[in-house]
């Protein structure tokens, strides 16, 4: 082909202009947005009078959704970086148990217990990442191993030390601690007190807490969820590191050739996932005042499902933290909403399977639109 | 093409052994600024191994690499890239799920300061991407269009434009046309021509003699890990090149029976 022609600069006649509406629909969050609207509409129609939308009800499903959100943010960013972490649930149990052992059994101050636990959990996350990166094994297998290893230790330690699998008394230990309220406290209590007095939200009618609002304030769990979602979204879409996360998951080899430190990105994402799991565990331990060896069971799958509902691809390189947060919201609202609506709770699992299937089908379609695959 | 000016890259007697396998047994190539140096060879001739020693992926077992007159030894691709040697791989150039502008700036993201924080400067990235793509003759729907929607030739062009924009002095293209259709190939070859005219040295790896003849200034043929010789444009016919590559007579016989269209 010697007739090398200069490429023309006229508009390509084969590029069909797409409508703005279509353009705005084609985004990873589409599934999450549609799902959220459907779920809220359904429950508003069928369960509005059940107490689901009064202050207590809202706080109830917000808290459950916030739990899902915290682990979904970590799972989402890790999945976009091209890896899985199946040890999230075990990490929740393990971290909670470590805090309990350090603070109650060993009698350390709670702030020290929390900090050491975070350091420990993040190191295990790093170990997960290093093994995956160095051996080139699928993260599915490596973290599956850690699912069992961590769960085993979570049962073994309290069994050996205390001869039981639940360690309580953390509330007393945390009394007056400076770090514990960051996970177990509540904010805006003044506002809620005022709303109670103004008659906007319900107050206790009798008893020792008469006149106090039923909902005292916003738990730190929800604050953590919102902060992590905001942080994750900004990092992913607005920073250089975010671009590296997409690149690492999209095609690790191509990213390496372009000078992206893929291994470092992946290891850091494993560490972040472990961090999120430990935030979840610490909030839970502070709320319950105890740590149990069975905490966090199946949470890894719930996190992954929330992420997939939120539009991320299981194969990596594509997704959105906002989408994952919406996935978590759908999750929380439906789980609690079915309870409010008086539906048999086992049907929640049926719903989960169905919505997962729909989400994956919708996401595949959206991805085809974006990449122009046929 | 005058060759009086100094070569930008000089590879002298490069040898590369993988265990007991000798992949390269003394390859010497000189690349000059502003020329397109075609590296030809059949599969297994050592083309890929050779360019990987040039781009810092492999360290040569023996031999010297001179870059801009100074001896150089790259430990990793990043160092070669910083020095100005950019490589565009055939199918590993771009990430399909990411937008063109995110791909364009992958690994070289522009930053905007916001207090102590640094953010990806998307506005700047989008502007530059659109401008560079227009220069290369690609009309994007928008900078956020995914690379997956581009054709193979357009992806190669984006990758070449990216390397040039980030200051490549030597551009290594690993079989950029081997998976492309006729029109796309023509576009990529036109891009190579543009890049060469900017004074950048292009190393064009191919096993298609016609593609090489279209843009090449000099041709080096590799066979079984050795240089079979370098020829200037006009000193060699496509048939001679083809024979050198195949290293033999059987090719001549085959070509005869096929009517010379290989």
Whole-structure pTM value: 0.87
- Give pLDDT tens digits along chain B (262 positions): 444 578 888 888 888 888 888 888 888 888 999 899 998 888 778 888 888 888 888 888 888 888 888 888 888 777 888 888 888 887 767 888 899 999 999 988 899 988 888 999 999 999 999 998 888 878 787 888 888 888 888 888 888 888 889 888 999 998 888 778 888 888 888 888 888 888 899 999 988 888 888 888 999 888 888 887 788 888 888 888 777 777 655 555 556 666 655 5
A-chain CB neighbours of B214 within 8 Å are 1-2, 4
Residue with tokens 């609002």: A213
Of residues A97 and B241, more confidently modeled: A97
Q: What is the pLDDT of residue A3?
A: 42
Phi, psi (deg, nearest 5) at residue B109: -60, 130
- Chosen from B80, B96, B99 to mutate, greatest number of chain A CBs within 10 A: B96
Q: Give A194's contacts (C-beta < 8 A, 6+ positions apart).
A: none
Of residues A141 and B143, more confidently modeled: A141
Residue A129: CATH number of its domain:
1.10.3470
CA distances from residue B178 to A155, B172, B214 in whole angstroms, order as listed: 58, 15, 14
How is residue A146 written in tokens? 């850690």
Per-residue pLDDT of A264-320, as tens digits, reads 999 999 999 999 999 999 999 999 999 999 999 989 999 999 999 888 888 889 999
Instruction: With CB atoms and an 8 Å threshold, state whether B193 touches A4.
Output: yes
Q: Give A14's contacts (C-beta < 8 A, 6+ positions apart).
A: none
* Confidence class for position A115, pLDDT limits 50, 70, 90: very high
* Confidence class for position A10, pLDDT limits 50, 70, 90: very low
Identify which of A28, A251, A14, A359 has the alpha carbon closest to the alpha carbon of residue B144: A28
Give me the number of domains chain A comprises: 1
Question: Tell me, what's the ipTM?
Answer: 0.81
Chain B contact for A247, CB < 8 A?
yes
Chain B contact for A251, CB < 8 A?
yes
Residue A371 within any structural domain of the chain: no
Q: Around Cβ B146, how many Cβ atoms within 10 Å? A: 24
B-chain CB neighbours of A251 within 8 Å are 92, 95-96
Q: What is the pLDDT of residue A24?
A: 65
Residue A202 within any structural domain of the chain: yes
Chain A contact for B233, CB < 8 A?
no
Residue A249 within any structural domain of the chain: yes
Spell out the alpha helix ranges (H) of chain B: 47-54, 77-83, 100-104, 122-135, 152-165, 182-197, 209-215, 238-246, 249-258
How is residue B29 written in tokens? 């190539």
Q: Give the DSSP letter of residue B181.
A: -
Residue A319 within any structural domain of the chain: yes
Of residues A3 and A197, more confidently modeled: A197
Instruction: With CB atoms and an 8 Å threshold, state whether A255 touches B95.
Output: yes
Residue A16 within any structural domain of the chain: no
Q: What is the pLDDT of residue B230?
A: 84
Domain of residue A79, residue span:
29-43+50-363
Report whether B147 contacts B103 (CB < 8 A).
yes
Arithmetic mean of pLDDT, A116-122: 97
How is residue A287 written in tokens? 């709320």
With residue A263 as reference, give the H or E element that holds it: helix A262-288
Instruction: Measure the CA–CA gap between B42 and B207, rounded to whole angstroms.
Output: 6
Residue with tokens 């199918």: B91
Arithmetic mean of pLDDT, A105-133: 96
Helix (H, G, I), strand (E, B) or coil at A208: coil
Instruction: With CB atoms and an 8 Å threshold, state whether B87 touches A257.
Output: yes
With residue B230 as reference, give the H or E element that holds it: strand B226-232
Residue with tokens 């240089």: B227
Least confident of A7-11, A29-33, A192-196, A370-374: A7-11
* Confidence class for position A323, pLDDT limits 50, 70, 90: very high
Residue A339 within any structural domain of the chain: yes
Roughly how many angstroms between the first and final C-alpha of chain B, as a whole number? 28
Identify which of A337, A274, A319, A320 has the alpha carbon closest to the alpha carbon of residue A98: A274
Least confident of A137-141, A256-260, B97-101: A256-260
Most confident range (mean pLDDT) of A141-150, A341-350, B137-146, B253-262 is A141-150
Q: What is the pLDDT of residue A15?
A: 52
Of residues B90 and A349, more confidently modeled: A349
β-pair partners for B222? B227
Instruction: With CB atoms and an 8 Å threshold, state whether A7 touches B136.
Output: yes
Q: Give B131's contacts (C-beta < 8 A, 6+ positions apart).
A: none
Report whether A287 contacts A158 (CB < 8 A).
no
Residue with tokens 């799958």: A301
Per-residue pLDDT of A205-225, as tens digits, reads 777 777 778 888 899 999 999
Arithmetic mean of pLDDT, A52-66: 90
Chain A contact for B166, CB < 8 A?
no
Residue A303 within any structural domain of the chain: yes
Per-residue pLDDT of B191-248, as tens digits, reads 888 888 888 999 999 888 888 888 889 998 888 888 877 888 888 888 887 777 776 5
Report whether A86 contacts A273 (CB < 8 A).
no
Q: Is the pLDDT of residue A6 over 60?
A: no
B-chain residue closest to A9, CA distance: B137
How is residue A126 written in tokens? 């790093």
Instruction: Measure the CA–CA gap between B112 and B236, rounded to whole angstroms.
Output: 52
Roughly how many angstroms between the first and final C-alpha of chain A, as a whole number? 29
Residue A335 within any structural domain of the chain: yes
Instruction: Measure the CA–CA gap between B187 and B195, rounded to whole angstroms.
Output: 12
Instruction: Measure the CA–CA gap between B171 and B224, rounded to whole angstroms.
Output: 24
Per-residue pLDDT of A156-182, as tens digits, reads 999 998 888 899 888 888 888 899 889
Q: Going from the N-terminus, what domains does chain B have, and what CATH number goes with each?
A: 1-94+152-226 (3.40.50.300), 96-149 (no CATH)
Rounded to the nearest integer, the mean pLDDT of chain A is 87
b vs e for A327-353, b when ≥16 Cβ sit within 10 Å of the residue's Cβ? bbbbbbbbbbbbbbeeeeeeebeebbe
Percent of chain A whose pLDDT exceeds 70:
92
Torsion region of A11: left, alpha or beta (phi above 0 gives left; psi -120 to 50 gives alpha): beta
CA distances from residue A132 to A144, A149, A299, A328, B126 in whole angstroms, order as listed: 12, 16, 21, 27, 34
Q: What is the pLDDT of residue A21?
A: 64
Instruction: Measure the CA–CA gap between A229 and A235, rounded to whole angstroms.
Output: 10
Phi, psi (deg, nearest 5) at residue B13: 45, 50
């Amino acid at each position: 082909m010697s007739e090398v022609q200069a490429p023309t600069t006229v508009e390509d006649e084969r590029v069909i202009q797409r409508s703005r509406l279509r353009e705005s629909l084609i985004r990873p969050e589409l599934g999450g947005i549609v799902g959220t609207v459907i779920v809220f509409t359904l429950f508003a129609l069928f369960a509005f009078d059940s107490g689901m939308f009064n202050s207590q009800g809202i706080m109830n499903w917000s808290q459950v959704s916030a739990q899902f959100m915290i682990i979904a943010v970590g799972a989402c960013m890790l999945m976009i970086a091209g890896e899985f972490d199946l040890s999230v649930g075990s990490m929740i149990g393990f971290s909670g148990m470590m805090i309990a052992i350090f603070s109650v059994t060993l009698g350390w101050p709670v702030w020290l217990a929390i900090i050491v636990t975070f350091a420990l959990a993040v190191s295990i996350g790093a170990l997960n990442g290093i093994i995956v990166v160095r051996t080139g094994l699928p993260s599915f297998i490596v973290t599956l191993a850690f699912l069992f290893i961590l769960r085993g230790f979570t049962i073994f330690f309290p069994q050996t030390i205390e001869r039981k699998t639940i360690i309580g008394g953390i509330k007393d230990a945390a009394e007056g601690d400076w770090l514990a309220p960051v996970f177990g406290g509540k904010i805006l209590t003044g506002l809620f007190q005022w709303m109670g007095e103004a008659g906007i939200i319900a107050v206790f009618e009798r008893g020792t807490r008469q006149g106090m609002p039923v909902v005292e304030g916003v738990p730190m769990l929800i604050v953590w969820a919102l902060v992590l979602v905001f942080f994750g979204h900004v990092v992913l879409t607005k920073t250089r590191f975010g671009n590296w996360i997409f690149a690492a998951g999209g095609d690790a080899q191509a990213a390496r050739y372009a000078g992206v430190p893929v291994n470092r990105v992946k290891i850091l994402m494993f560490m972040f996932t472990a961090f999120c799991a430990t935030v979840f565990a610490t909030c839970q331990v502070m709320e319950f005042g105890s740590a149990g060896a069975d905490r966090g069971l199946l949470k890894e799958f719930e996190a992954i499902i929330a992420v997939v509902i939120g539009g991320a691809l299981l194969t990596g390189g594509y997704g959105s933290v906002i989408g994952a947060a919406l996935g978590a919201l759908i999750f929380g609202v439906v789980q609690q909403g079915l309870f409010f609506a008086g539906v048999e709770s086992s049907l929640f699992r049926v719903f989960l399977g169905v919505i997962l299937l729909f989400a994956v089908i919708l996401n595949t379609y959206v991805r085809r639109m974006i990449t122009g695959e046929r | 093409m005058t060759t009086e000016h100094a070569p930008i890259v000089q590879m002298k007697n490069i040898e590369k052994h993988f265990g007991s396998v000798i992949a390269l047994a003394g390859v010497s190539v000189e690349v000059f600024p502003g020329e397109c140096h075609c590296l030809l060879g059949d599969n297994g001739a050592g083309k890929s191994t050779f360019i990987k020693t040039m781009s810092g992926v492999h360290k040569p077992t023996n031999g010297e690499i001179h870059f801009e007159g100074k001896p150089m030894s790259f430990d990793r691709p990043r160092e070669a890239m910083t020095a100005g040697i950019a490589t565009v791989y055939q199918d590993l150039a771009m990430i399909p799920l990411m937008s063109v502008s995110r791909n364009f700036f992958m690994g070289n993201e522009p930053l905007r300061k916001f207090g102590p924080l640094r953010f990806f400067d998307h506005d700047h990235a989008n502007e530059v991407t659109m401008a560079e793509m227009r220069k290369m003759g690609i009309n994007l729907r928008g900078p956020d269009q995914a690379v997956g929607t581009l054709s193979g030739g357009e992806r190669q062009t984006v990758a070449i434009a990216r390397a040039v924009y980030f200051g490549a002095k030597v551009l290594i293209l690993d079989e950029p046309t081997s998976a492309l259709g006729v029109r796309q190939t023509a576009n990529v070859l036109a891009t190579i021509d543009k890049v060469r005219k900017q004074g950048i040295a292009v190393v064009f790896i191919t096993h298609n003699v016609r593609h090489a003849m279209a843009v090449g200034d000099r041709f080096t043929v590799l066979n079984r890990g050795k240089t079979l010789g370098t020829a200037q444009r006009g000193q060699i016919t496509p048939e001679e090149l083809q024979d050198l590559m195949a290293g033999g007579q059987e090719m001549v016989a085959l070509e005869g029976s096929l009517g010379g269209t290989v």
